[in-house]
Structure 1
Amino acid sequence: MSDERLRRWRLVLGGEGGHDGTGVSLSGTDQGMDAVLAALYREGDAGSGGGRRAGLGASAPNVARWLGDIRQYFPATVVQVMQADAIERLNLTRLLLEPEMLEAVEPDVHLVGTLLSLNNVLPAKARSTARAVVGKVVAELERRIAQKTRSAVTGALNRAARINRPKHREIDWNRTIRANLKHYQRSHRTIVPERLIGYGRAARAVQRDVVLCIDQSGSMAASVVYSGVFGAVLASMKSLKTSLVVFDTAVVDLTDQLHDPVEVLFGTQLGGGTDINRAIAYCQGLIGRPRDSIFILISDLYEGGVRDEMLRRVAAMTGAGVQVIVLLALSDEGRPSFDHENAAALAALGVPAFACTPDAFPDLMAAAIERRDIKGFAEKLQRSQA
């Protein structure tokens, strides 16, 4: 029998100390794969001489970690089977339904990601509890980010709406000076401002179109949660026209659910492959006013679609005047894993790819609305987080 077949049998049988009869020792990634299999498909008990002896136990953090591990080691189709088996074999529904568990573990973004990853295999009874947990976290996130986001966006829109007959307190001195440099009086060492430029009030009409395009692969769970909440906040502002699109290998437009961020999150499907090119193609069709549009792609850039075409689409959008921003993550999780080659290719197009914390996102939106240098914003953000 070949070494590869012996290795596979060792993973299937789960024996230790040679009890499986294969004589194969595991290392590296195989050890991690064996551990997640052992936690689910254990045989015998802790006192037996063979079989799998690991387990998840009645611990929500352990469950969350295990769900992340299986997405790391197995393809989406296998992950779905293992999640369904976990619900049945380890009684995870009991864990999700127990009030004691929810009291012991503070519901947070990561727990929401766990519940969303189980979305398609949760029994009907568990869904109501899951929605309650997600609703609690979403409400807390909205309290944290809504006011700052609205203030930052409104201020940016006001500053972007320039007027030429401003009151004194509304004068934009930097722009006024630049516009009147030709009127510099050398003898008096001053500028005669024949034309004043000021900050105007944002009109009631839609000032910017915002398209959020969110990668819903398993590694992006926290980013999906934050993006859904931010999307709902932006959609509540009449001065913005906000669209929200999620994708894996398929594309789903959730714009009509933005009035309820909980519905948005339960409309996602964490896991699966990634076709960024297909998602960008769909979003291009949503953009009718390129120079007044902001396109935000939130993805780790691991492309399963046509990479060259994806880059051509981004170049076409920037060439048409769209403000394109690529976020490798929208979360507090620290340095993300991402495709460095694709990130470098986007940077060469003038589109820097960087991670952004939820607290910094309102300032990023303000910078985008005012068409400030996003590369400079990213560099400043990275220095502040170092």
Structure 2
Amino acid sequence: MDEEVDIGETEPAGDGRERRWRLAIGADDEKSSALSDTDKRLSAALDALYGDGAGDTVADPRKRRGGLGRSAPRVAQWMGDIRSFFPAQVVQIVQKDAFERLNLKQMLMEPEFLKAIEADVNLVADLISLRSVMPAKTKDIARTIIADIVAKLMQRLEQNTAEAIRGALDRSQRTNRPRQRDIDWPRTISANLRHYQAEHKTIVPEKLVGFMRKQRRLVDLDEVVLCVDQSGSMASSVIYASIFAAVMASLPVVRTKLVCFDTAIVDLTEELSDPVEVLFGVQLGGGTDINQAVAYCADRIERPTKSHMVLITDLYEGGNGQELLQRLASLVRSGVNVVVLLALTDQGRPGYDPKMAGSVAALGIPVFACTPDLFPDMMAAALRREDVSAWAAGADIKLVRAEDDSPAANP
């Protein structure tokens, strides 16, 4: 595969300014002496997406519509060229442009294209949204791609989540058969100093010393309800929330429920053993009825003082907004630990309804956006019944301020 080409720094075959213009507008590339052979390949790859065909001149790139055609080998070759010329971040931008400018919904039906495309969370969202119209063969490939992406995300997120959320350690008791995460390393090293191996400059720990875990009965377990907005704007948040729900459901120290909603409600709790199956149960798109979803979750909370509800939504309510605020206020009064996340993504500050967010914050509910890497620590703070707003401030996360004149301030 070729090395990535930097448009601004690669030595041009002719005049540097002409080269950059040729690459930008795609005019008579094949005849231009300003472009090297590599430049012409780059230009052809860009023209396939942003032009009317190689060599055509269009003044406004926004009006240029190329065509990768329906030839799967050409699609795969085009994807290979794009990935050879640009870093992964740029590849994802080009893919997004391709999806919007061209008829990639049809192209995603082609297995060869799915095998060539750069996989990320956004691709998972695209595949999930199109699964109902995919032919069986393509759906199988899509499931494999989603499973691969989910496995990589699980590998990235699972350990920290388990470590942060797992039951508190009872440090008053010790055991010589601790789990790896419970080993008391200072005491273990001290107890094994006589086994120091000078030639290897290490200690062979024949005796492990660790902390004994508190035994918790099932009825004592805290309950976590993830209530997730699955409208189109929340696609990435749904994917991350589903993965975290699957991780938490695998831990014997909390009981986890996952509820996704738009104007309908999908309870995916029974599917949490298989995160890929969870994602295939999500229905991305549609309207938003947050009030209805919160009511559904509230009805299934059995022990409010041992329950935590994380509502993940941009708060653009299509249902009864005032009733939503009253319902959230009732949950808080009953002892449920409520947190509202405006987004659970790697991106920056999300779009959300500022008025509704301020009204929710006026109830004393923390309202902010969170990245996947910070979510485990946030969840651990919530389970310890710490001040989640203080935790967020300490993590340099900007919280939504309460609306002083909001009717929710005095529900």
TM-score for both structures, normalised by structure 1: 0.68
Pick one of 108, 131, 136 that aligns with 1:92: 108
C-alpha separation between the residues in 2 aligned to 1:302 and 1:283?
Answer: 19
Query: What is aligned with 2:386?
Result: 372
Query: What is aligned with 1:192?
Result: none
Check if 1:64 corresponds to 2:77.
Answer: no
Query: What is aligned with 2:216?
Result: 203
Alpha-carbon shift at residue 240 of structure 1 (Å): 1.2
Read off the aligned partner of 1:142 and give its amino acid letter.
M
Read off the aligned partner of 2:65 and give its amino acid letter.
A
Query: What is aligned with 1:140?
Result: 152
Alpha-carbon shift at residue 382 of structure 1 (Å): 2.9
Distance 1:116 1:333, change over 3 A: same
Check if 1:256 corresponds to 2:270.
Answer: yes
* TM-superposition CA deviations, 1:195-252 (whole Å, max 9, x none): xxxx971414251011111111111111111111100011111221111000011001
Kindly indicate whether the alpha-carbon contact (under 8 Å) linking 2:368 and 2:397 is maintained by their aligned counterparts in 1.
no
Alpha-carbon shift at residue 340 of structure 1 (Å): 0.7
Query: What is aligned with 2:298?
Result: 284
Pick one of 88, 97, 116 that aligns with 1:101: 116
Question: Unmatched 5+ residue regions in structure 2?
Answer: 1-47, 69-74, 80-90, 176-211, 400-411
Pick one of 284, 290, 293 that aligns with 2:307: 293
Pick one of 235, 246, 250 that aligns with 1:232: 246
C-alpha separation between the residues in 1 aligned to 2:392 and 2:57?
Answer: 56
Alpha-carbon shift at residue 43 of structure 1 (Å): 11
Kindly indicate whether the alpha-carbon contact (under 8 Å) linking 1:232 and 1:258 is maintained by their aligned counterparts in 2.
yes
C-alpha separation between the residues in 1 aligned to 2:356 and 2:348?
Answer: 20
Query: What is aligned with 1:123?
Result: 135
Query: What is aligned with 1:113?
Result: 125
In the TM superposition, what are the counterparts of 1:306-345 in structure 2 within 5 Å? 306-345=320-359
Q: Secondary structure at the match of 2:168?
A: helix
Paired residue total: 291
Distance 1:64 1:113, change over 3 A: farther
C-alpha separation between the residues in 1 aligned to 2:262 and 2:287?
Answer: 5
C-alpha RMSD over aligned residues: 3.3
In the TM superposition, what are the counterparts of 1:147-186 in structure 2 within 5 Å? 147-154=159-166, 157-158=167-168, 166=172
C-alpha separation between the residues in 1 aligned to 2:57 and 2:344?
Answer: 46
Distance 1:353 1:384, change over 3 A: closer
Distance 1:229 1:344, change over 3 A: same
Of the structure 1 ranges 275-284 and 373-382, higher mean CA displacement relative to structure 2 is found in 373-382
Read off the aligned partner of 1:121 and give its amino acid letter.
V
C-alpha separation between the residues in 1 aligned to 2:238 and 2:305?
Answer: 27
Alpha-carbon shift at residue 92 of structure 1 (Å): 3.3
Alpha-carbon shift at residue 46 of structure 1 (Å): 9.0
Kindly indicate whether the alpha-carbon contact (under 8 Å) linking 1:298 and 1:327 is maintained by their aligned counterparts in 2.
yes
Query: What is aligned with 2:28?
Result: none
Alpha-carbon shift at residue 334 of structure 1 (Å): 1.3
Kindly indicate whether the alpha-carbon contact (under 8 Å) linking 1:97 and 1:129 is maintained by their aligned counterparts in 2.
no
Kindly indicate whether the alpha-carbon contact (under 8 Å) linking 1:301 and 1:343 is maintained by their aligned counterparts in 2.
yes
TM-score for both structures, normalised by structure 2: 0.64
In the TM superposition, what are the counterparts of 1:343-382 in structure 2 within 5 Å? 343-382=357-396
Alpha-carbon shift at residue 348 of structure 1 (Å): 0.4
Distance 1:255 1:370, change over 3 A: same
Q: How high is the sequence identity, in percent, across the aligned residues? A: 45
Alpha-carbon shift at residue 273 of structure 1 (Å): 0.6
Q: Secondary structure at the match of 1:326?
A: strand
Read off the aligned partner of 1:295 and give its amino acid letter.
M
Kindly indicate whether the alpha-carbon contact (under 8 Å) linking 1:109 and 1:137 is maintained by their aligned counterparts in 2.
yes
C-alpha separation between the residues in 2 aligned to 1:131 and 1:329?
Answer: 25
C-alpha separation between the residues in 2 aligned to 1:221 and 1:56?
Answer: 27
* TM-superposition CA deviations, 1:264-318 (whole Å, max 9, x none): 0010111111110010010011100000000010111111010000011100000
Distance 1:45 1:234, change over 3 A: same
